[in-house]
Amino acid sequence: DAAKVVGKGGADVLVRVNRPWRMLMADLEASIWPEVGGICLPKVDSAELIEFVDEVVGELEIERGIEPGTTRYMVLIETPRGYANARAIAHASPRIDGITLGQEDFCAAMGMRTESSFLIPYMQQIAVCAREAGVLPIGYPGSIVDFTDLDAFRASAEKARALGFEGGSAIHPRQVDVLNQAFMPTDQELDWSEGVVAAYDKALAEGVGAVTYEGKMIDVPVVERGRHMLAIRDKIQARG
């Protein structure tokens, strides 16, 4: 019933389950329904955990008349062991859509503070593992718990986007608009993307070897960056 209410406006519904085995099993039984698009898996420390969850989720989908593979995963890396196994975890299941470093738990386990400069190297490694596996790197450097300082929160989100991350978690409604603004390409970026893509496509159609835009040479990686930003815009617009 709660999932129906949450998804009323068209949002994807994910349920955050718990990690201890007995709680995890009870939570999966309670969470896998047609109204739920995915689950958020905390404290993932091995690919074997994902494989085990896959088996249970697959059985529940069949039992409840859900198309197998429908339920997606958002994976949280929150322990040193999980961090060490991040690449294997990222490849563990085609259900995985996103991976994030759980800042608070990871820092507590490491005995370190949740300052941006300390977290960035760990986050970049998670991003590499995610991209190599074809899933989204999610998150931002800094603490998630301070929802009163929105300027600091915005700065962390903008830094994350500059590092290649594509979204973040919120624990308070005030943070949602900040995240949407930070991870949405700006009007200036979209204008540049449209121009670059148009110039490249035109040159390609005309058989021109070297392409320039606004006085700079553009090649495939530059064009792909532009296409990626336009794809993000299109996906957001499609959601209304």
Structure tokens at 120: 């960035």
Element housing 103 (H / E): helix 103-110
Residues of the chain above pLDDT 70, percent: 100
Nearest Cα to Cα of residue 103 among 63, 65, 133, 146: 146
How crowded is residue 70: how many other Cβ atoms within 10 Å of its Cβ?
Answer: 14
Cα 100 to chain centroid distance, Å, stands at 7
Q: Is the pLDDT higher at 204 or at 88?
A: 88
Are the CB atoms for 8 and 42 separated by under 8 Å? no
Q: What is the pLDDT of residue 235?
A: 86
How crowded is residue 54: how many other Cβ atoms within 10 Å of its Cβ?
Answer: 18
* 161-189: average pLDDT: 92
Are the CB atoms for 91 and 136 separated by under 8 Å? no
Q: What is the pLDDT of residue 31?
A: 96
Q: What distances in angstroms separate CA 217 from CA 172, 196, 197, 200, 209, one per listed residue? A: 44, 10, 13, 10, 11
Does the pLDDT at position 108 exceed 90?
yes
* Confidence band of 183 (pLDDT split at 50, 70, 90): very high
Residue 77, C-beta contacts closer than 8 angstroms, at least 6 positions apart: 44, 83, 86, 89, 99, 100, 101, 102, 106, 126
- How far apart are alpha carbons 30 and 15 in whole angstroms? 10
- How far apart are alpha carbons 209 and 194 in whole angstroms? 20
Q: What is the pLDDT of residue 240?
A: 65
The average confidence (pLDDT) of the chain is: 93
Does the pLDDT at position 118 exceed 70?
yes
Structure tokens at 116: 């941006």
